[in-house]
């Protein structure tokens, strides 16, 4: 699905969406970690924010139930350059995109 990121100054960035459909409003923040994306997304300190991951690929280690800071995502949205179609980690219980 197509997605748009519209900034307050009117800049429009186009991309491909994944996960839930809808419109969200919030502050765009960034995280520079190479791993730990599940912890970041469920970390209450990111509540209501649109998290940009600066590491170019997200999801390559998959998803699991052990790497959560809370039961529900706190971030409103995830922004990444590329979403890995494969999950390669011995702890993975599935693809990040399906989590």
Cα gap 98→48, rounded to integer Å: 21
Sketch the domain layout of the chain as residue ranges.
22-98
Stated pTM of the model: 0.88
pLDDT in tens, 29-62: 999 998 899 999 999 999 999 999 999 898 999 9
Cα gap 90→50, rounded to integer Å: 29
Residue 14 exposure: Cα atoms within 13 Å on the Cβ side: 2
The per-residue pLDDT for range 17-29, each reduced to its tens digit, is 998 899 999 999 9
Four-way CATH pick for 22-98: 3.40.50.1220, 3.40.50.1100, 3.50.30.20, 3.40.930.10? 3.50.30.20
């Amino acid at each position: 699905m197509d997605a748009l990121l519209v900034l307050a100054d009117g800049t429009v960035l186009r991309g491909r969406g994944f996960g839930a459909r809808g419109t969200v409003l919030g502050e765009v923040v960034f995280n520079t970690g190479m791993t730990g994306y599940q912890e970041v997304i469920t970390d209450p300190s990111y509540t209501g924010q649109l998290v940009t991951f600066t590491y170019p690929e997200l999801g390559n280690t998959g998803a699991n139930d052990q790497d959560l800071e809370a039961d529900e995502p706190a971030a409103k949205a995830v922004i990444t350059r590329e979403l890995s179609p494969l999950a390669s980690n011995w702890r993975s219980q599935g693809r990040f995109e399906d989590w």
